[in-house]
Amino acid sequence: MKTLIAAKELSHYMVFTNRTKPAEEDVAFRTRFGKIVGLSKSWLLGIGELSLLLRAHPEIWDRYEEEIRNPIRFNRDDLIEIIRDFAKFMKRADGQHQVQTLRHLRLEDKNRVNGISKAYFDDMQRHTMPQFEHIRSFLENPRNEKDLNLYQDTADDLRGRLRAMLAEKEVSSLEQGMDQIRDQFITSDPRFKGKRRWVRTFIDYMYSTCEIGQNADPAQAPKT
């Protein structure tokens, strides 16, 4: 903190807690951080203060209600960086659609195991599968090793998040979970403007390569 203050990169410090804040804790906090030279102001906000602030500013709740109730517990910055780089890759490829040539994955069997509807799969075949070969080429290109690492981290985080959503009965099916995560991404982050379609494409690609969802065949599980 002192390093950031000295570099003039930090002047205000705020700490949030989801617990009730004792009155004496607030005094101790302000006293402690008030002694730091260069720090203009500091706050310790407990759940009570957070509730009051949300009531005072209902526009925050209106905009982020779904995300507050069901937060995405992984780094969205990784996915936006992948999508930005992939969009540049697609421009170089002139946006040409390619026929899906991935190894046969017995997706019909996997769909039954995961409760993926025929309507969802038909839509996937029409709209996102034609881009899967582009994604594969993009991720296999040695120049995109950074994006591959980000992709693998995102897939791992997303797999864990979906598993938790199903276990906690936040959603009734994997399909609903994938839709919910996609919708939260594209409605709450303006950086996806003009690239929203790629969020679903990448999530569907992760599903088709068995990086998310229950595998119909253990041999299809992602290699680690």
68 lies in a domain?
Answer: no
Burial of 31 (0-12, 13-18, 19+ CB in 10 A): exposed
Q: What is the DSSP string of 146-192?
A: HHHHHHHHHHHHHHHHHHHHHHTTSSSSHHHHHHHHHHHHHHH-GGG
The CA–CA distances, whole Å, from 158 to 110, 165, 184 equal 18, 10, 13
Based on the fold, state whether residues 113 and 18 are members of the same structural domain: no
Supply the range of the domain harboring residue 107: 73-220
Burial of 223 (0-12, 13-18, 19+ CB in 10 A): exposed
Based on the fold, state whether residues 40 and 95 are members of the same structural domain: no
Based on the fold, state whether residues 18 and 79 are members of the same structural domain: no
Based on the fold, state whether residues 152 and 89 are members of the same structural domain: yes
Based on the fold, state whether residues 102 and 213 are members of the same structural domain: yes
Based on the fold, state whether residues 108 and 50 are members of the same structural domain: no
186 lies in a domain?
Answer: yes
Based on the fold, state whether residues 82 and 176 are members of the same structural domain: yes
Tally Cβ neighbours within 10 Å of residue 38.
12
143 lies in a domain?
Answer: yes
Q: For 46-166, list the strands marked E by DSSP.
A: none
CA separation for the pair 200, 140 (Å, rounded): 20
How many folded domains does the chain comprise?
2
The CA–CA distances, whole Å, from 189 to 63, 64, 98, 199 equal 11, 10, 29, 12
CA separation for the pair 216, 211 (Å, rounded): 12
Q: Please report the pLDDT score of residue 63 as a whole number.
A: 66
Nearest Cα to 78, choosing from 138, 143, 146?
Answer: 146
Based on the fold, state whether residues 32 and 113 are members of the same structural domain: no
Token pair, residue 159, equals 């797999």
Token pair, residue 180, equals 């919910």
Based on the fold, state whether residues 141 and 189 are members of the same structural domain: yes
67 lies in a domain?
Answer: no
129 lies in a domain?
Answer: yes
Q: Helix (H, G, I), strand (E, B), or coil: what is residue 195?
A: coil
62 lies in a domain?
Answer: no
The one-digit pLDDT tens for each residue of the chain (224 residues) are: 778 888 888 888 888 876 777 767 877 888 888 888 888 888 888 877 877 887 788 777 666 665 565 555 555 677 878 888 887 887 665 444 444 434 444 788 889 889 999 999 999 999 999 999 999 999 999 999 999 999 998 898 889 889 988 988 888 999 999 998 888 777 666 777 777 889 899 999 999 988 899 876 544 444 43
Based on the fold, state whether residues 27 and 90 are members of the same structural domain: no
Based on the fold, state whether residues 173 and 144 are members of the same structural domain: yes
Based on the fold, state whether residues 126 and 215 are members of the same structural domain: yes
64 lies in a domain?
Answer: no
65 lies in a domain?
Answer: no
